Amino acid sequence: MILSISCLTFLLVLLYLLPLDELFPTRHLRNTVNVILSHKPAKNMANSPLLKLLVPLLNRIARLIKIDPYAPKWRKYRDDLQVANLEHLLTLEQLISIKYLVSVAIFIYTLLLLALDFSIEVLLLAVVLVFLGYFLPDQWLTIRVKKRRGDIQKELPSILISLAVTTDAGLTLFQALEEICHRKQGALTDEIKKTLQEISVGIPQKEAFQNMADRVLVEELTLFVSALIQTLEKGSSGITQVLREQATEAWSNRKSRAKELGEKASIKLFMPLIGLILPALMIFLLSPAIFAILKFFVY
């Protein structure tokens, strides 16, 4: 009975959140196939019908609980939204509203389960699930932040090499940055575009580059920005040499990080090896000996 109620609740949620024209979209399906065949990335989150349906509800929840987006306790969320490049999709108020919405949804669902079969175990499970549901959006945001910082770390060496080559060919630093933004796509190029936009509206170069470093908080990028600011203050004559040195250091850091991840992977594989593969191997090797001993004692 509980399983039937769970499936029914899940189906009702799907029918409410996903309109029928989105379930069988011939035109939308054709557009999706064209996007896949043309290898053009689609911004699924921005065009998500689920997000469009939830935005009015999230805004209503934010007004109801009176979230102050400038409170010091929400500063980490503001920074994480910027690092994850989600500030154009979700506001801070909407993110906090999602936390309350998930908790309330889980609470209502567990109330249905308790109404069918009340027990202490289900009650304790309900408390744990509501608590976990409140922090589930935090975990999702943390994963997005780590992924984007990792993407920036991976893209930094190749972009620095490209900048060194283009500046050595005669382009200025900002012309090289614009050329990189036109030719490459990725998390780091998005941050460079933001920096160029800040400079174009009148923000000083030093402040714009420092904002990029403070926004991302990646160690390699911070070191590059510091060296770049020092070079710009002295003059742009040695910018190519600085870019090459920073690219070499970034490649070295990337190799060290890859080696470190490989060592961690071997350690993580050690426990599954001991717990799963080794017992099966011991059974395979010792089974003939055990059967031989049993055969000797029986006969």
What's the CATH code of the domain at 236? 1.20.81
193 in any annotated domain: yes
pLDDT digits (tens, 9 = 90+) for 172-221: 888 888 888 888 888 888 888 989 998 889 888 888 888 888 888 888 88
| Residue 168 to residue 236: CA distance in whole angstroms | 12
pLDDT score for 237: 64
The pTM assigned to this predicted structure is 0.67
> 3-state SS of 143-175?
HHHHHHHHHHHHHHHHHHHHHHHHHHCCCCHHH
Domain count, the chain: 1
162 in any annotated domain: yes
Please list the ranges in the chain whose pLDDT falls under 50. Answer: 3, 14-44
210 in any annotated domain: yes
**212 contacts 195 by C-beta, under 8 angstroms:** yes
142 in any annotated domain: no
44 in any annotated domain: no
Secondary structure of residue 80 in the 3-state scheme = helix
Residues 6+ apart with CB under 8 A from 97: 57, 58, 59, 61, 62, 65, 67
248 in any annotated domain: yes
51 in any annotated domain: no
180 in any annotated domain: yes
Residue-number span of the structural domain to which 233 is assigned: 151-254
pLDDT digits (tens, 9 = 90+) for 240-263: 788 888 888 888 888 888 888 787
